[in-house]
Chains A and B, each alone.
Chain A
Amino acid sequence: MNSPLSWPEDAQGGVLGDGRYALATDRPASVDELLDRVRERVGQGCAIYPQGGRTALDYGGEPARPGSALDLTGLDRVIDYPYADMTITIEAGMTLAALAKVLAEQNQRVVLDAPEGDRATIGGILATSASGPRRFGMGRPRDQLIGVSFASSSGELVKGGGRVVKNVAGYDFPKLLTGSMGTLGVITQATLKVRPKPEASAIIWAPLDDGDALERTLERLNVSETRPVAIELLNASAASTIAAVADLPVGRFVVVLGFEDNADSVDWQLVRARQEIDSSAMAIARDSASEPIWSALVEFPALAIGPLSFQANIAPRSVAAFVERLDPDRWRVKVHAGNGIVQAHGLGEWTFEQAAAEIEPLRAAAVADEGNLILPRCPTAWKTRLGVWGDPRADWSLARRVKEALDPLAALNPGRFVDSI
């Protein structure tokens, strides 16, 4: 879309990411005010860039045209918390940490395992579909969200789903909005399932030195008699950073199992899992001692180490071979091994040519596995050439049509998502 507006030269109006500045930043204190701002800005020809805790401003493609930032952090109220129904309805600008605090009063939690919880907002977590280690046993953000309200680019408030845990009335906007990177609507409110906090939790930390044993171990864990809520795999580089938080042994690889349940069940699982894994230097951390390890696992994707990070999605059976290819001096790697999600941070200095030479064959391997490889962090100048959202997929043409239907003015986060949506 041709816009008469031009990019501001400085950060006076706020920051958008990728070195771009906002024409202005609006921070509405109510949904009505937010709708007014959206209508007004869109009327002026601005694009709208929704922002939560600003933890992921550089995530995705470059902002495509000048626009204003829409800061959601003024919308941070609890709307309704019928805790005995195990649901909560909140405004989208609430941070994960603030939400956790409210829920803790009833000994409850939400399963949103996103990093930087003191800054990351619920709206931002949902928009990016940020997930963590517990997704293996407890699902992703899409599985926790039962109702959503969002502002369309025409400034109307739209909702989908509801406030009850089971509901099939109407199309599932909660699913469509989750992971949509703010390109379909500005999430203003969410209703989430909540769960009781587990009575007990534990981590098994199992260093493995034999690369050949890796897939055997993961395969065994897939049919384990235990029921881990997390199966993570670390390479030596990731293992040594995370080991530091709790004085743990390191190896070429470390398999990390997370358990959460009642104490009897967790006790039994620790005994059983130790028999199932062949590791000479296994360590176990229980309850409060496991917490720093859980949080290091959750925080991993937010480590800002070098200029480049990738995330590959592949079949779980291919994880071991994929990770073996990655040089631990160049890549710090953690994998949701049960789900096939490989997260890697590049170490040291990188030129564009070096990055391309590494990324292209890795992406080809992921695509051959019917997966893909995206770049959550990457210098702006490399973004188009390296393809931050991976190899184009056939269903992106349908994605584009969904975008054109729901945001016909292409006003919301233009340029940021797949296919430059």
Chain B
Amino acid sequence: MASTGIAPPRIAISPRLSSDLVAALGADNVLQRPEEMLVYECDGYMVERSMPDLVVFPTSTEQVVEIVKICNRHSVPFVPRGAGTSLAGGTLSIGGGVTICLTRMKRILEVSIRDRYAVVETGLVNVFLTRSLAGTGFHYAPDPSSQGACTIGGNVATNSGGPHTLKYGVTVNHIRGVTLVMPDGEVVETGGAVEDQPGYDLTGVIVGNEGTFGIVTKAIVNLTRDPEAGRTFLGVFDTVDAATETVSGIIAAGIVPAALEMLDNLMIQAVEQAFGFGFPTEAGAVLIIEIDGLEAGLDREARAIAAIVESRGGAVRRSISWRTRKEPEYVAIWKSRKSAFGAIGRLSPTYCTQDGVVPRTKLPEILRFIVDVGRRHGLRIANVFHAGDGNIHPILLYDERDPDQVKSVLLASHEILDKCIELGGSVTGEHGIGVEKMEFMPKLFTPADLAAMTTLRNMFNPIGRCNPAKLLPGGAGCLEKTGPRRAAPA
């Protein structure tokens, strides 16, 4: 999708900027040749690109402060970046400037099992934290599908979810405190390892700021007790409708699964070709339904789920009973799910992954709508998503060499997101607004809501030098032009 913001003209860079940064960080931690910086001109959102002028790799909070001060001295914007897996263009260096890449700050500084927290540098890759906790009986709960690559800092910035956040909560529910380098170089530590610090929940509002409040260099995260056991089922359905009705049925029955993920036929075929897990390629849709907790309580829940699946005309085809999340069949089914986006590459050279949310009872309706949109625009759309949360991820397949298809993809995406709003949902459940969805903000929020958000952003980031042209549409002037459109209910 095209961003609404008219890209600001590229900033003029003085050669002194680069020498100052090299002096502060060493030449090894600074990239400036275009061919070295190609990776940094975009992220997982490939529709737009913008080359930074420099990419730097700090190794400490002090160095981040140094970088920010140097950028301010030279009046140059800067953008924090983790692994660059953002699907909303959050890391684009709009108008140029310095990309501050945190991936060399990846230490686990402290782990306390007794007090259930860990302190990490934010360049740490999500899965490394969970791996390092193996055997302790605890884990870090938020598990985005990209967890093998994405960083804790990126997760904090976007408030990431994942398949298991249905039961365990998203990133913000698991962050106790952060170290934030503010855009003027001031360092603030919010919250702490100890709960309930007196004062505002600054940590809570910093999570999900998409890098517009500053650079988070450390996070204190909750550790969650591992479940004793679990059951993972593969529910097979003739139609998408039957599968989504089952999702609504499970939620309405008051069952809180650990995960509840759906794949439609197109997705099943792609995943099956790639991984050969044994998904039935003729099925209209499958659900991966997982419950976990204490072994003693699982059989009853399992029976209740099977009954709901069957009452909607589905069948439970596989049932994996596990004690740890390392058992081969368990690993295989989740590998298929978590690598699903990658498998799409076999169906189409280019694709656009959308992210929207609807109330869970509206899943059948939004999925039918997506089929209709695909038909009208002559597009193939695959679906693989966090059904239990109502968080859809339609993947629109297209050929980027065909401008008509590109146009159709944009139109189709808009229609789907507008429909999410109409059904009482949101235009992003986990990927963020970034540059991609700024134009939807006035549809979700009133001018007063946006003005309050702008006020807050300006307090943290008064000159707007940190991650400019993201999340909030335009300046105040632009907002006024938008006028009071029908806003979604609070």
Contacts and interface: CB of A to CB of B under 8 A. Distances in A.
Interface string A204-244: 00000000000000010011011100000000000000000
B300 A143 contact: no
A149 B490 contact: yes
Given A196-B255, A371-B192, 16 more contacts: A85-B359, A107-B254, A149-B490, A163-B359, A166-B391, A168-B429, A172-B207, A223-B225, A261-B294, A268-B296, A268-B297, A317-B114, A395-B191, A395-B197, A399-B199, A404-B459
B189 A395 contact: yes
6 nearest interchain CB pairs?
A175-B204, A265-B297, A196-B254, A268-B296, A159-B490, A84-B252
Of B199, B205, B458, which is in contact with the most chain A CB atoms at under 10 Å from its CB? B199
Contacts of A420: none
A372 B197 contact: yes
B228 interface: yes
Contact of A340 (B115, B297, B471): B115
Chain A CB count within 10 A is highest, among B173, B437, B458, B490, for B490
B293 A85 contact: no
Interface in A313-372: 313-317, 339-341, 369-372
Interface in B406-425: 424-425
Given A84-B251, A176-B200, A265-B293, A370 B427 contact: no
A195 B256 CA distance: 9
A167 B428 contact: yes
Interface stretch (A6-14, A16-24, A94-102, A386-394): A386-394
B361 interface: yes
A249 interface: no
A168 B430 contact: yes
Interface of B: 112-116, 137, 158-159, 161, 165, 169-170, 172-173, 188-205, 207-209, 225, 228, 248, 251-252, 254-256, 293-297, 299-301, 357-361, 386, 389-391, 424-433, 437, 440-441, 444-446, 448-449, 451-453, 455-459, 471, 488-490
Contact of B490 (A189, A316, A418): A189
Given A268-B297, A394-B188, A170 B199 contact: no
A148 B490 CA distance: 7
Contacts of B391: 166
Max chain B C-beta neighbours (<10 A), residue from A147, A262, A393? A262
A265 B294 CA distance: 7
30 contacts: A156-B452, A157-B448, A158-B449, A158-B452, A159-B445, A160-B449, A163-B359, A165-B360, A166-B390, A166-B429, A167-B357, A168-B430, A169-B433, A169-B440, A171-B209, A171-B456, A175-B204, A176-B205, A178-B201, A262-B297, A264-B300, A340-B194, A370-B192, A371-B192, A389-B199, A398-B190, A401-B459, A402-B200, A403-B200, A405-B458
A331 to B, nearest CB: 19
A176 B455 CA distance: 14
B449 A170 contact: yes
A289 interface: no
Given A158-B448, A262-B300, A222 B294 contact: no
A108 interface: yes
A152 interface: yes
A169 B441 contact: yes
Given A167-B426, A390-B198, A418-B199, A219 B114 contact: yes
B196 A399 contact: no
Interface string A402-421: 11111000000000011000
A163 B294 contact: no
A139 interface: yes
A313 B424 contact: no
Nearest to B299: A264
A313 B176 CA distance: 13
Contact of A162 (B115, B189, B444): B444
Nearest to A226: B294
Nearest to A165: B389
Contacts of B427: 169
A348 B295 CA distance: 49
A370 B116 contact: no
Contact of B296 (A191, A264, A403, A405): A264
Interface string A290-331: 000000000000000000000101111100000000000000
A173 B252 CA distance: 28
Contacts of A403: 200
B194 A171 contact: no
B374 to A, nearest CB: 23
Contact of A227 (B172, B293, B458): B293
A127 to B, nearest CB: 12
Contacts of B255: 196
Nearest to B296: A268
A394 B187 CA distance: 10
Interface string A255-268: 00000011011111
A87 interface: yes
A177 B440 CA distance: 24
A262 B301 contact: yes
Given A84-B360, A143-B173, A372 B198 contact: yes
B430 A166 contact: yes
B440 to A, nearest CB: 8
Given A162-B426, A372-B198, A398-B190, A171 B205 contact: yes
Contacts of A82: 359, 361
A402 B252 contact: no
A156 B448 contact: yes
A111 to B, nearest CB: 12
> Most chain-B Cβ atoms within 10 A of its Cβ — which of A219, A339, A398?
A398
A329 B456 CA distance: 48
A411 to B, nearest CB: 15
Contacts of A164: 357-359, 389-390, 424-426, 429
Given A219-B114, A315-B193, A399-B199, A171 B359 contact: no
Contacts of A389: 198-199
Contact of A313 (B195, B360, B471): B195
A264 B445 contact: no
Interface in A245-279: 261-262, 264-269
Nearest to A152: B452
Nearest to B357: A164
A196 B430 CA distance: 25
B194 A315 contact: yes
Contacts of B448: 152, 156-158
Contacts of A152: 448, 452
A269 B170 CA distance: 27
B296 A265 contact: yes
A171 B201 CA distance: 13
A265 B207 CA distance: 35
A393 B149 CA distance: 35
B429 A167 contact: yes
Contacts of A417: 199
Nearest to B191: A395
Nearest to A373: B198
B490 A162 contact: yes
B352 to A, nearest CB: 18
A179 B201 contact: yes
Given A84-B360, A405-B456, A225 B228 contact: yes
A152 B479 CA distance: 19
Contact of A166 (B196, B389, B440): B389
Contacts of B225: 223, 227
Nearest to A190: B490
B441 to A, nearest CB: 7
Contacts of A285: none
A267 to B, nearest CB: 7
A317 B488 contact: no
Nearest to B209: A171
Q: Which of B169, B427, B452 has the most CB of A within 10 A?
A: B452
A163 B357 CA distance: 10
Contact of A398 (B188, B453, B471): B188
A321 to B, nearest CB: 13
